[in-house]
């Protein structure tokens, strides 16, 4: 191919690319623009930019460069900048420092490797900052100190190995999930209004909360406003006793997918507002007696896939001091959902659930249960969903069935059942039932099937999913 032909092809490609550089007005007053294929902000020269407040840039081929020294950029009122559709963003020394009123910044999935303090104005007004899905490795104190008004910060899906959180009075949400953090220490006094902290899917072996000296030495009540803490899918093998005691307003605690081996009541001390606790998939977990005694408000507890072989009859119950100064264990009145699926339970004590009278959904599937003790479900008068699939049950007594007066869903699929007692007069509220996968005697199966048809009860197969912990 001749040089002339190559030149013509290059010229055609250049013209086609250049033709895609467009900007569209999103409102009649030039306050909002959507642009495509810009290589710099200075290229917006066909529109007045002095009153521009909102700008979105969508590039598919063009690298965008921002922050050149001596820039002629004139966007003094720009407050919203969305670069989430710019796969190649280069930040020069000045970065966004020439945008003094920028409040909402999205640079997610822009290929950014480093953020520097010099990229932002000395007094930085940003309140929402999304820098997720980049390749950032460090967030320094000098950088984060610039964000004195930051409320919402997302640094998920980066390569962070080190984060220093300075005093950030306004910070409400901090997402550091899906990074490479091995340690993370936070001084809660530095973030007094932090509501949600996401540290899931890192490489944490420990999590530590510290306090500044002035708070430790003061007589002020030390309770912080954190509502949700996600530590799931890390490598935490041990919790520190009383490490959550200052999180009296915490509602959601995620600890699933770690390597925690032992849990006792001191690990949850102070969590008086906790409603959702997820502990599934921690390998082989040992639960000491009264592990959850401090969790008066607990509604949802997931203990699935932890290799549990035995449950103490004193595992559940809220500990409270009576008028004489003695401790008593009261029912956990708010508990509605308990998942024990995928463990190694072979038997249960008849007292196991006596402190959970208001439980509505109970999953015992994928264990090794052979017998259900009489009276096991009697304390749970409001139980609506009972899942006992994939166990080794050889019988279910009439007394067990008669205790399930409010059950709407009953799954006994894939056990070793050959017969069922007379179902007439039992399960008055039942709407759905699963019985397949058992070695039924033909007559017993026919009798149960006729009962299901007569009661117009929906037949559930093994792949039916109904669980919802939210």
Mean pLDDT of 17-30: 68
Q: Kindly state the tokens that stand for 332.
A: 């956990």
C-alpha to C-alpha distances, 186 to 164, 194, 270, nearest whole angstrom: 8, 11, 18
Please tell me which residue, 27 or 376, carries the higher pLDDT value: 376
Q: Kindly state the tokens that stand for 260.
A: 């925690």
What is the DSSP pairing of strand 22-25 with strand 32-36?
Answer: antiparallel
Q: What φ, ψ does residue 3 adopt, rounded to 5°? A: -60, -35
Location of structure tokens 């072989």: 309
Check pLDDT > 50 for residue 6: no
Nearest alpha-carbon partner for 301 in 268, 349, 346: 268
Euclidean distance between the first and final Cα of the chain, in Å?
A: 65
- pLDDT for the residue numbered 39: 94
**Distance between CA atoms of residues 71 and 337, nearest Å:** 59
In this prediction the pTM is: 0.90
Location of structure tokens 């902290």: 197
Q: What is the pLDDT of residues 159-206, one digit of tens each?
A: 999 999 999 999 999 999 999 999 988 777 789 899 999 999 999 998
Q: Which fold has domain 349-470?
A: 3.80.10
**Distance between CA atoms of residues 84 and 56, nearest Å:** 8
DSSP code for 457: P
Res. 8 pLDDT band, cuts 50 70 90? very low
**Distance between CA atoms of residues 337 and 470, nearest Å:** 9
Mean pLDDT of 423-450: 93
C-alpha to C-alpha distances, 409 to 231, 337, 388, nearest whole angstrom: 33, 14, 11
Number of residues in the chain: 470
Q: Kindly state the tokens that stand for 394.
A: 């050889």
Res. 462 pLDDT band, cuts 50 70 90? confident
Check pLDDT > 50 for residue 7: no
What does the domain layout of the chain look like in residue ranges? 349-470
Res. 73 pLDDT band, cuts 50 70 90? confident
The beta-strand segments (E) located in 212-343 are 228-230, 252-254, 262-263, 276-278, 286-287, 300-302, 318-321, 327-330, 337-339
Quick one: what percent of the chain has pLDDT higher than 70?
91
Res. 468 pLDDT band, cuts 50 70 90? very low
């Amino acid at each position: 191919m001749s040089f002339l032909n190559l030149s013509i092809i290059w010229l055609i490609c250049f013209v086609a690319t250049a033709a895609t550089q467009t900007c569209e007005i999103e409102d009649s007053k030039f306050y909002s623009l959507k642009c495509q294929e810009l290589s710099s902000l200075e290229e917006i020269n066909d529109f007045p930019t002095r009153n521009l407040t909102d700008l979105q840039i969508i590039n598919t081929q063009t690298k965008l460069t921002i922050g050149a020294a001596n820039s002629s950029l004139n966007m003094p009122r720009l407050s919203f900048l969305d670069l989430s559709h710019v796969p190649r963003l280069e930040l020069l020394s000045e970065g966004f420092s020439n945008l003094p009123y920028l409040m909402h910044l999205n640079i997610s999935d822009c290929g950014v490797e480093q953020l520097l303090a010099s990229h932002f104005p000395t007094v930085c007004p940003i309140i929402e900052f999304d820098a997720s899905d980049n390749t950032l490795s460090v967030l320094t104190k000098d950088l984060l100190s610039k964000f004195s008004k930051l409320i919402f910060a997302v640094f998920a899906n980066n390569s962070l190995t080190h984060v220093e959180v300075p005093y950030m009075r306004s910070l409400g949400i901090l997402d550091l999930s899906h990074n490479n953090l091995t340690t993370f220490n936070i001084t809660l006094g530095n973030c007094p209004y932090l509501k949600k902290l996401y540290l899931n899917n890192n490489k944490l072996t420990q999590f530590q909360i510290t306090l500044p000296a002035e708070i430790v030495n003061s007589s002020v009540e030390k309770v912080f406003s954190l509502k949700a803490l996600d530590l799931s899918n890390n490598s935490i093998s041990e919790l520190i006793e009383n490490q959550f005691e200052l999180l009296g307003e915490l509602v959601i605690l995620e600890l699933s997918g770690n390597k925690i081996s032992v849990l006792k009541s001191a690990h949850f001390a102070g969590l008086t507002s906790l409603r959702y606790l997820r502990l599934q998939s921690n390998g082989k977990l040992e639960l000491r007696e009264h592990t959850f005694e401090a969790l008066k408000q607990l509604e949802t507890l997931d203990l699935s896939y932890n290799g549990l072989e035995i449950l103490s009859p004193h595992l559940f119950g809220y500990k409270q001091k009576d008028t004489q100064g003695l401790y008593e264990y009261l029912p956990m009145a708010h508990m509605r959902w308990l998942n024990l699926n995928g463990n190694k339970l072979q038997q249960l004590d008849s007292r196991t659930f006596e402190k959970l009278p208001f439980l509505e959904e109970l999953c015992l599937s994928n264990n090794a249960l052979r017998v259900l003790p009489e009276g096991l479900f009697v304390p749970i008068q409001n139980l609506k969903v009972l899942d006992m699939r994939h166990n080794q049950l050889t019988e279910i007594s009439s007394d067990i069935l008669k205790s399930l007066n409010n059950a709407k869903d009953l799954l006994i699929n894939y056990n070793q059942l050959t017969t069922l007692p007379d179902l007439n007069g039992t399960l008055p509220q039942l709407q759905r039932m699963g019985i397949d996968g058992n070695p039924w005697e033909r007559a017993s199966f026919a009798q149960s099937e006729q009962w299901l048809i007569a009661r117009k009860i929906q037949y559930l197969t093994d792949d039916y999913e109904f669980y919802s912990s939210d």
